[in-house]
Structure 1
Amino acid sequence: MSGQAHAGIDYIPREGTWLLDRGERVVDSRTNADLKQYLNNSNRSSGGSSISVNVPLSVQSQDSGNRSASVEDANLLAGLIKSKVYEIVTNEQRPGGLLSRG
């Protein structure tokens, strides 16, 4: 056996028999080159940009005397909106998504 590379290796120095763990894979040299180029381009284009989404929010309580309930409701709703927007943006940034840079 020539080696083990469970921690990762991007180039095999010589032909030989290698031990793989479950879930690991071997790709041909062309696919490896394509993957390295894709990752390099992805790292270069992601340059720390951020996305800002503003959602105006107005919460009105049926009980006009309980202002703290309205504030709590507004904060809860704002948190739900933020997490859903983050989930959607993250999914759309994946390959094939509307925000994919690949």
Structure 2
Amino acid sequence: MKKWIAIIFCLITIIISGWFVVNQMGSLDIPSNKNDQYAAQQKWEINERTDIDKCEKTVLINQIDAGRALRREVAAHTFEKQVFAMFVIVMQIVILIVVSLMPRKLNK
């Protein structure tokens, strides 16, 4: 009975950690070069505009840079959390294997 409880807890932990990893995939900055290129293109388009003055251009460019830095920071934190969740999943799989291979009753 205790063996089944441990197996169920391991499976629940694996499912929750796996859900967390999949759920946080949107926060990762996987195509970072593409996103950097898109930000550079936005900055270039702002510099080419003639309907706004230099001060407003600087403010808009700084907003783009700040947003890009924030997305990088969020992606870094998300990656760290996902690495920890994957470590938990691996440890739970090891525990699951050890528990499932234990004999039911030890013969003395």
Structure-2-length-normalised TM-score:
0.33
Structure-1-length-normalised TM-score:
0.34
Higher relative contact order (Cα pairs below 8 Å, separated by 6+ residues): 2
* Structure with greater helix share of residues: 2
